[in-house]
Amino acid sequence: MKVKIGITGQDGFVGQHLFNTIGLFPDEFERVSYHIDFFKDVEKLESFVSQCDVIVHLAAMNRHNDPEVLYQTNMGLVKQLIDALKKTGSKAHVLFSSSSQEERDNLYGKSKKEGRELLTHWAAAAGGVFTGLVIPNVFGPFGHPYYNSFIATFSHQLTHEEQPKIEVDGEVKLIYVGELVTIILNEIRSGLGKPLFVIPHTSINKVSAILSLLEGYKEQYFKFGIIPELKTSFEINLFNTFRCYIDIKSHNPVKFVKHTDPRGTFVEIIRLNVGGQVSFSTTVPAITRGNHYHTRKIERFAVIKGKALIQLRRIGTDEVLDFYLDGNEPAYVDMPIWYTHNIKNIGDEELYTNFWINEFYDANDPDTYFEEV
């Protein structure tokens, strides 16, 4: 039997990543549809709750000018969820996203701590299962600048001609959203529940050190297309986060510098401060390759002969981005993570393409998921 999982706050930063990652395990999990309006309609919320074996409660307000509004909103959401759980007689495994700010003297932290305690009491009384996740600072692709993370804010600013400003240069304990999602899924699989589960951070860095890395990504990658040296998994995750704030439409395709003399032409495809694998393909007219996406890999498609249409679509969205490349003006497009992509020969001759990816292909861990653009 598949485990039916519902996510409140499904459209939020962590919610989107969790929802999309659950979709990678169709034989194990089934996603229960959620909409933000469910908390405005008792019957809809109860219907949602009644369908779920697992509920991951992420819906919350993280920032507001009036802390009292933030507190009342978050407590109200928890109480509405508990009412629905009681009304439906649910014994679901409820996972609640609390915060490392629980112990701080602010109303946001208070709303998280008290919300977790209310759900602990519900589980004890109703025979349900509860996991209270105390989560460190989360970063990753598609977070909202000026809201979810200073990394989102800095990355947005650096790719939109703005200058980041450090308010307090302290050390920050961080977890990448993909790492957090893996922990949540493992807790769901265990089915055991933990009233207080303090999730460990996976990195700790000074704000200034992170900004320095991001500024390096801007200088090397954003300006010149150079793949920077990425020494750790944190730096790979930070780089992939940075890349998602580049305006794909205006940035791509990126034309190469073509050097021509009587012998022919020479084009430099990629400059690397990191390893990886380079491949080459020919594609006959009207054939499409790809229609898959990656969740961690960094990839470049470089067209050197023929005419191609490269298409990208972010998973969970409908907008398709079309980029036309011609070998007469060699160019490349880099593939952001969580964007399904393809390449089609739209010319009358063979299409020649160079592919670079930042890690060797591993059949046991390909990080390749097929979905039509």
**Measured distance CA(327)–CA(287) in Å, rounded:** 17
Strands 194-198 and 54-57: unpaired
**Digit-coded pLDDT (tens) for 176-191:** 999 999 999 999 999 9
- Give a yes or no: residue 133 inside a domain: yes
Amino acid at 139: F
- What would the mean pLDDT of 275-290 be, rounded to a whole number? 95
The pLDDT of residue 63 is 83
**Measured distance CA(183)–CA(180) in Å, rounded:** 5
Q: How many structural domains compose the chain?
A: 2
- Give a yes or no: residue 318 inside a domain: yes
Q: Do 364 and 299 fall within a single domain?
A: yes
The pLDDT of residue 102 is 87
Q: Which of 157, 187, 209 is the last residue of a domain?
A: 209
Q: Which of 183, 209, 235 is the last residue of a domain?
A: 209
- What is the longest distance spanned by two Cα atoms in the chain? 83
Q: Do 62 and 186 fall within a single domain?
A: yes
- Give a yes or no: residue 86 inside a domain: yes
- Please say if the pLDDT value at position 62 is more than 90: no
Contacts of 46 (CB under 8 A, 6+ apart): 84, 87, 88
Q: What angle do CA 36, 37, 40 make, to 5 degrees?
A: 125
**Digit-coded pLDDT (tens) for 236-254:** 999 999 999 999 999 999 9
Q: Do 19 and 153 fall within a single domain?
A: yes
> What are the start-end ranges of the H helices in the chain?
13-22, 42-51, 67-88, 107-126, 150-158, 177-190, 207-217, 223-224, 233-243, 248-251
Q: Do 147 and 8 fall within a single domain?
A: yes
Q: Do 78 and 137 fall within a single domain?
A: yes
Q: Do 304 and 358 fall within a single domain?
A: yes
- Give a yes or no: residue 70 inside a domain: yes
Q: Do 171 and 29 fall within a single domain?
A: yes
Q: Do 262 and 342 fall within a single domain?
A: yes
243: exposed, middle or buried (C-beta count within 10 Å: 0-12, 13-18, 19+)? buried
Is 334:38 a contact under the CB 8 Å cutoff?
no
* CA-to-CA dists, residue 275 to 230, 284, 361, angstroms: 9, 30, 12
**Measured distance CA(333)–CA(149) in Å, rounded:** 27
- Please say if the pLDDT value at position 230 is more than 90: yes
CB atoms closer than 10 angstroms to residue 62? 14
Q: Do 182 and 292 fall within a single domain?
A: no
- Give a yes or no: residue 217 inside a domain: no
Token output for 47:
């219907």
CA atoms within 13 A on the CB side of 364: 0
Q: Do 350 and 300 fall within a single domain?
A: yes
- Give a yes or no: residue 79 inside a domain: yes
**Measured distance CA(172)–CA(269) in Å, rounded:** 37
The pLDDT of residue 100 is 85
> Which CATH number characterizes residue 115's domain?
3.40.50.720
Is 125:162 a contact under the CB 8 Å cutoff?
no
Instruction: For residue 341, give the 3-state DSSP assignment.
Output: strand
CB atoms closer than 10 angstroms to residue 83? 15
- Please say if the pLDDT value at position 38 is more than 90: yes
Q: How many Å separate Cα 284 from the centre of its chain?
A: 34
> Which CATH number characterizes residue 323's domain?
2.60.120.10
- Give a yes or no: residue 197 inside a domain: yes
| Residue 26 DSSP class | T
**Measured distance CA(121)–CA(210) in Å, rounded:** 40
- Give a yes or no: residue 66 inside a domain: yes
Amino acid at 326: D
**Digit-coded pLDDT (tens) for 66-122:** 999 999 999 999 999 999 999 999 999 999 999 888 888 899 999 999 999 999 999
Q: Do 196 and 308 fall within a single domain?
A: no
Domain limits at 311? 248-370
Q: Which of 152, 186, 209 is the last residue of a domain?
A: 209
Q: Do 300 and 177 fall within a single domain?
A: no
